[in-house]
Structures are given as structure tokens and as C-alpha cells.
Amino acid sequence: MKTLTQSPTEPDFVQNPYPFYDAARASGKIGYWQDYKMAAAFSHDAVHMLLRDRRFGREIPAEMASDGPVHLAPFLAVEAHSMLDAEPPRHTRLRKLVMRAFTSREIKALAPGLETLCHDLIDAFPQDAPFDLLTDYCTQVPVIAICRLLGVPEEMAQQLLDWSHKMVAMYQASKTPETEHAAARASQEFMDFLRVYVEQRRNTPGEDLITRLIQAEEDGESLTTDELIGTCILLLNAGHEATVHSLGNGVKTMLHQGWQAEWLAPEGISGLVEEILRYDPPLHMFTRYAYEEIEIFGHAFQRGDQVALMLAAANRDPEALERADQFDPTRPAKVNKSFGGGLHFCVGAPLARMEMEIALPILFARCPDLKLAAEPVFSNSYHFHGLTQLLVTRS
């Protein structure tokens, strides 16, 4: 297996990681990424298999678990109750309970309100001056959708965003000690807020996800308060961060490519959304632990070894898709690892897709002359891949 060297904070890589993925994939389905000190799967078939192989999982092997640094205790407390980092039987129980509350009917019920929101946001765009579409539109749609879904006041949106950004920064290669302290404070404040809010909902049920999570029951079991809080934080952090940058990256790509009206028609919009997610997704890496000694694609794993699943690299594997490096919303949607796979396939995928299918057609119908006012720049936030801003004009 070839050893690969590439700093995840190097500026050229941050702006365009795909040449590195291509070179890594050409040298083998799995390589050893020296900078992360772990094996990394770059091919579509390797990523597809590892997402589903039960000999690998998200939960750290018990003998490797520790309490972690004291200063990170609040952040780690949230992680400890997150469905994302659990494996069966705990994951099975949590996911069943969450899916009883997070139904397709409840997601679809958000659609009319999101359509109105999109129009209201566009009404507030400046007419003759450049503005940041990332802040004024791409961020607002998903975070307000999550507020409405959870049932928390929409005026809390900015505070929820602040907590989310500080917590999610823990997964970035560029994190610092200051990042860790900020994430711990945000985690504690977020937990304190939700603990009070959940108690209010226990006493006064509403028509919202938090109430449904409180009421969800499977085989006589329900979510503990800590599990409920962990689930709400996961839904906000994962759902908001991913959809913001899916929208931002997608609009950037469409403006670069010269968008076509048929992409946004009712019969074409789902293909456009899938191609945006495939071509330049917001999450590029998803790690797992080996649970036993195993050899895959020529690499020998020991129990406890980590492997990085390179989702964006898999999406552009030419062995899995013709013209994989080209953006083509008319192609059949068959290669897309952006939402993961297997037991940990993203529970929020239907909501993210619906938000994009609503927000993109309305944006381009209302702003058909939308143009870039400056070349977009990606933030130094790998393994996330999102823009710092998206300056545009309406004419």
C-alpha cells in the first residue's frame, strides 16, 4: 500500500482536493495517508464496501476508550450520546426511536413554509449591490428549517448557528486549543438550553420533533434526556452544516457551468440535487474503526486501527462513473456517497434533499441573472468543504 503525503491545511489542497484524490486513487484503492496516520479508501468500491462491512464501525473499541481531556468534558458528553458514534445494539435502539419521530410526513409538512421563507429571503436581497448568498440564503434556509422542525424559536437561529459552528470546528484539521475550549463552552451552553427546553416540552407538548422524540417509544423503551439532547444537537450540527454548503457549492458550480433551465424543472430538479451532492459534497471524509484483524485491498488492519472513507473521492471514481470529473445533472443518479451508507446512512438526507429541491428553483426563478461578484474561496475547514462566502449580484 502506497504512503501518501498531503497536508489537509495546505492552501491549494483546501481550494481543490480533487487532484490529490485522483493521484491517490490511481496508486491503489486504499493508501496510507501519512498526515492523518491512517489508511484511507479513495475508490468507490472500497468506500462502498467499508460503509457496509460490520467488521468496521464508528464506536471506539472499549479497550481504547478513555474519559478524554477534562477541558473537553462537555463536548465529549454530547458525543457519548450521539447516534453517529454508536454501534448496535445501542445504535439500533436510538435510530429506531429517532425514526419514529423523524418521519417523511413531518418533513414534507415543512415544505410550504420553506417556500414562503425562500421568497421572503429573496425579497430582502439588495437590488444593485453585491451580497453574500451564503449568509443571506444558503445558511438561513436550513437553520430555520431545523428550528421549525425542533420547535425552538426562530429568533434562536443565530445562537444555534454559533454553537453549531464552534462544535463542528472540532472535526477540522485546522483546529487549535482555542477551538477545543470554544467547542466545550458551546456544548455546555447548548446542553443547558436544551435541557430546559425539553423539560418545558414534557410539561407542555407541542407539534414539533422534540415533543415527538419525548413521546417516541419502541418495545417499552424511550430516549433518555441525554440521548434526546444528543440527537437534537446532531440533527442541527450535521443537518445545518451539510445543507448550507451543499447549497453554496451547488450555486457556485451552477454559475461556473452556465446553468440550464431544464435542470430546475420539476422533472429535472432531483437529478440536479443528486449531481450537486456527488460533484462537490460538503463532507469529504468519514472515519471508522476496525473491530478485528482483517485484510482488505491488500492492507492489513489490526483491531482499533482507523480508516478514512473518502466520500468525495469515491463520488468521482472514473471506474464507477463515466465522465466522473464532469458536472452533468442529466445523468442517472447512481454514484453518490455524500450521505454515507449502511447503518449510518444520514437520517437527515430526505430533509436536505427537500430543502435543496425547494431553494434552488425558487432562487433561480426569482434571480435569473444571478452572477458571481467575486471568485468564491473555500474555507480552511477540511474535512468539510465549504465556501467562506458567495458574493453575487442579481444582474
pLDDT in tens, 163-213: 999 999 999 999 999 999 999 999 999 999 999 999 999 999 999 999 999
Query: What is the rounded average pLDDT of the residues 102-113?
Result: 92
Task: Please say if the pLDDT value at position 118 is more than 90.
Answer: yes
C-alpha cell at 160: 444555534
Burial class for 94, CB neighbours closer than 10 Å (0-12, 13-18, 19+): buried
Instruction: Please name which of 165, 381, 353, 386 lies closest in space to residue 275, comparing C-alpha atoms.
Output: 353
Residue 88's domain comprises 3-393
Cα atoms in the 13 Å half-sphere on the side-chain side of 165: 13
What pLDDT score was predicted for residue 258? 94
What pLDDT score was predicted for residue 239? 74
Q: How many CB atoms lie under 10 A from the CB of residue 221?
A: 12
Instruction: State how far the Cα of 277 lies from the Cα of 213, in Å rounded to an integer.
Output: 29
Task: Please say if the pLDDT value at position 217 is more than 80.
Answer: no
Domain tally for the chain? 1
CATH number, domain at 163?
A: 1.10.630.10
Instruction: State how far the Cα of 150 lies from the Cα of 143, in Å rounded to an integer.
Output: 11
Question: What mean pLDDT value characterizes the chain?
Answer: 94
Can you say whether the dihedral through the CA atoms of 124, 125, 126, 131 is positive or negative?
positive
DSSP 101-144: HS-HHHHHTTHHHHHHHHHHHHHTS-SSS-EEHIIIIITHHHHH
Instruction: State how far the Cα of 245 lies from the Cα of 251, in Å rounded to an integer.
Output: 10
Instruction: State how far the Cα of 337 lies from the Cα of 68, in Å rounded to an integer.
Output: 31
C-alpha cell at 41: 479508501
Torsion angle of C-alpha atoms 181, 185, 191, 196, degrees rounded to 10: 170
What pLDDT score was predicted for residue 75? 96
Query: What is the rounded average pLDDT of the residues 359-369?
Result: 97
What pLDDT score was predicted for residue 242? 87
Q: How many CB atoms lie under 10 A from the CB of residue 355?
A: 27
**pTM listed for this prediction:** 0.95
Q: CB under 8 Å, gap of 24 or more: what pairs does 157-165 form?
A: 160/190, 160/236, 160/240, 161/240, 162/186, 163/187, 163/189, 163/190, 164/236, 164/237, 164/240, 164/241
